[in-house]
Amino acid sequence: MHSNIHPIILSGGSGTRLWPLSRANYPKQLLPLVSKETMLQATLIRANTLLSVQAPIIVCNSEHRFLIQEQCEAINIKPEAIYLESAGRNTAPAIALAAFHLAQTDEDAIMLVLPADHVIDDEVAFSQAVKTAAIAAREDYLVTFGVMPDAPETGYGYIKMGKAITFAKATSLAAYQVQSFYEKPNLETAQAYLQEGGYTWNSGMFVFTAKCYLEELQRHKPNIFAAAQEAWLKRIVDLSFIRPDKDAFMACPSDSIDYAIMQVTDRAVVVPAQFGWSDVGSWDSLWQISPKDTNDNFTSGDTFVMDTKRSYIRAENRLVSVIGLDDVIVVETADAVLVMHKSKTQELKTAIQHLGSNGRKEHLEHLRIHRPWGWYEGIDKGERFQVKRIMVKPGEKLSLQMHHHRAEHWVVVSGTAKVIVEDKEMLFTENQSTYIPLGKLHRLENPGKIPLHLIEVQSGAYLGEDDIVRFEDSYGRTL
């Protein structure tokens, strides 16, 4: 039992620093930014290749639950549990939920805590670092991975390594006491750290036993321990998800594991590692790890680039031409375009704040909105009408619902639609259409083997998504 490693995947972030590609309701960890897999999928696959690894536990935002479940299924990984946060409370409470979960059957279970949005190039070196960290964890240390710096980065926190620690069991890597943590430094300070030596970047990845973590949390942050424990004890199972008690979790203080535990415990050690790590915290850092051409440009999609160097250019929907610009970020999506100098990536939050304070939604969601049954996206809208594309996955169905303020016309583009209106059931195929009068109980289902695509035309006095009264739902959403 002592050899088992339990990956704890933290996927609660909103990822707004990679806007407009990343949105609050579709954050960066759910996007394929550096490979064909999404960052979450790459993290799960990486953890799954370790020796003696168990099924992962995922802690995520409730709004992302169906997307995360779908991405796990796509790579044939079945999590031991998916915990849903009603609101983000930072990493210390999120890790506590997983620790309580494991401690109920094995308090010596080794937790490998991994953010879902990190990139690691050398998986052999990563595996060696985990092996060393697990040995330290079995001797009641709380281990963090320190990435050996190769540049004076100002976007990372730093760890000063203390004296080396010897273990009863030999390891291929060394571990060191944590002498001190340092916040993100300015350039001059970062250069001094590199010149002095003995510093690592703080990776935000950890290894410890469930027992050790909970003991230190209770010792140093008893209010977080108590609130997280109450939220876990009052948890409910919702389909294949676990929901901690909302009131207790909302009352839990918001704090990171760094502040709550690692910077105050006397059991912290750091395993220095060199495994090609990035937390992809900005467009500039994504440019740094992306493949580039002879002009140091990364390009994706339909692009024309001329007299341009050291830039990141990504077109999702349309032709993007960039001429005579150096060191820029250009990202085009269906509803927003970002043009920014690479040195200004930390200022992107100002644009996000502007969108929020002006009641806009481009920072929250894409035009294509994902649902457990499929997706929909807006095509056109005007006074008293709205047009959408809808895709329903094979075998899935929307909720049984009605609308107070709108009627709907459905035209099947491809696939087969099973439509229920009141007590009448009908089948429609390609080029056929139907009409749903205002106030009528109705449901849409795909009984076929291929995706159902249709066009929906809404008409009425009010066309908001909150004009849905659900009477029955297969996915446990609020009725």
Q: Are 178 and 206 in contact (CB under 8 A)?
A: no
CA–CA distance, 287 with 295 (Å, rounded to integer): 13
Nearest to 102 by CA among 3, 9, 11, 209: 209
Q: What letter would DSSP give residue 309?
A: B
* Alpha-carbon torsion angle 239, 241, 247, 248, nearest 10: 140
Write down the pLDDT at residue 479: 46
CA–CA distance, 291 with 296 (Å, rounded to integer): 8
CA–CA distance, 10 with 94 (Å, rounded to integer): 8
Q: What is the β-pairing status of strands 469-472 and 417-421?
A: unpaired
For 125, the enclosing helix (H) or strand (E) is helix 123-138
Write down the pLDDT at residue 53: 92
Write down the pLDDT at residue 87: 85
The pLDDT tens digits for 373-430 are 999 999 999 999 999 999 999 999 999 999 999 999 999 999 999 999 999 999 999 9
Write down the pLDDT at residue 380: 92
Tokens of 54: 């168990």
Nearest to 127 by CA among 197, 188, 207, 46: 46
The pLDDT tens digits for 172-186 are 678 999 998 888 888
> Where in the chain are the domains?
5-278, 283-354, 368-472
The pLDDT tens digits for 29-58 are 999 999 999 999 999 999 999 988 999 999
Output helix, strand, coil percentages for the chain, rounded to the nearest 5. 25, 35, 40
Task: Find residue 418's DSSP bridge partners.
Answer: 427, 445
Check if CATH label 2.60.120.10 holds for domain 368-472. yes
Q: What is the DSSP string of 342-357?
A: GGGGGGHHHHHHHHHH
Write down the pLDDT at residue 2: 47
Q: Are 346 and 338 in contact (CB under 8 A)?
A: no
Contacts of 40 by beta carbon, 8 Å cutoff, 6+ apart: 9, 11, 29, 30, 68, 71, 116, 117
Tokens of 474: 């297969």
Q: What are the angstrom distances between the C-alpha of 427 and each of 125, 271, 392, 419? A: 56, 61, 15, 6
- The stretches in the chain having pLDDT less than 50 are 1-2, 479
Q: In the CATH hierarchy, which fold is given to the domain comprising 5-278?
A: Spore Coat Polysaccharide Biosynthesis Protein SpsA; Chain A (3.90.550)
CA–CA distance, 29 with 70 (Å, rounded to integer): 13
